[in-house]
Every structure is written in C-alpha cells, then in structure tokens.
Amino acid sequence: MNRRFPLLASALLALVLPAAVLAGKPAVSPAAVGELAKRADAPLVLDVRSPEEFAAGHVPGAVNIPHDQVATRISELDPGRWVLVYCKSGRRAGIAEGVLADAGFDVRQIDGSWLRWEAERRPVALPAATVTAE
C-alpha cells in the first residue's frame, strides 16, 4: 500500500472541508445571529472584509477589522466575549478565525458568510450618513 495515501487524503480533506469544520467549532446559521445578539452573553460580530465592503452593507452591530489586521489589532477585542466572524465567502473569516483561536478566543464563523446572509435577505446595516456644513 502506498504510504503517501493518508497524507494525500488529509491534504485533500483540508482543501474541501470548510474552515469551521476543521476548527472543530460549528458554524452559526445566519438565522441564529439575531437571537444570539439578544442574549446577555451576546457574541461580538466581526466583519473581516475590507472597509469598502463593510461600508456597502454589513451585519447589524458588526465591527470591522480587515482579516489582515486582526493579529495586530487583537487588543481591541474583549477576550471575555465570544466572536462570530464572517467575510464575503468564508476564506478570510477562516484566516481570522485561526488567529483568534490561537489567541484564546472562543470563535465561530457565520455559516455561509456574507453571501448566505444576503441570499437569505437578512437585515443589512449601512454606515450612518455624514452631514457636511455648507
């Protein structure tokens, strides 16, 4: 039997399985996010997309820290609060999830990320309009 087969199979599974499954924490459905936000132990909803993507619409109550800044801005997050993370499709959220988990955070992804949120027509928040004096 080929000794490399188990290694190859593991590598293929890592490419196919969603990051939330590999991390061992189940993803949270978009439908559950609203209910979780009402709890006393509500999670921080972390949007790891770019500021431009966030400004175009985001999960209500979400905080924006781009995925490539999570490690350097981790001190802005409350380590006693669990985190729900999302991006557009899940790839960047998976990267941020790993950084947060390594730092000791209880973190999970929103299942399907922003694409599923939009497809299910969940509420979308937009930044407040800025008023300029003339």
Tell the burial category of 18 from Cβ atoms under 10 Å away from its Cβ (0-12, 13-18, 19+). Answer: middle
CATH number of the CATH domain containing 45: 3.40.250.10
The domain containing residue 36 runs over which residues? Answer: 18-119
Predicted pLDDT of residue 134: 55
pLDDT of residue 25: 82
Which residue, 28, 77, 26, is CA-closest to 48?
77
Active site (catalytic) residues: 87
- According to the model, what pLDDT value does residue 110 have? 98
Q: What is the total count of domains within the chain?
A: 1
Name which of 102, 57, 54, 64 is nearest 85 in CA terms.
64
110 is a domain residue: yes
Per-residue pLDDT for 129 more than 80? no
Residue (of 105, 121, 107, 106) closest to 59 by Cα position: 121
Rounded-to-integer distance, Cα 118 and Cα 89, Å? 11
Q: Tell me: the pLDDT tens digits for 27-72?
A: 999 999 999 999 999 999 999 999 999 999 999 999 999 999 999 9
Q: Count CB neighbours of 73 within 10 A.
A: 10
**Residue 3 pLDDT grade (very low, low, confident, very high; cuts 50, 70, 90):** low
Which has the higher per-residue pLDDT, 3 or 128? Answer: 128
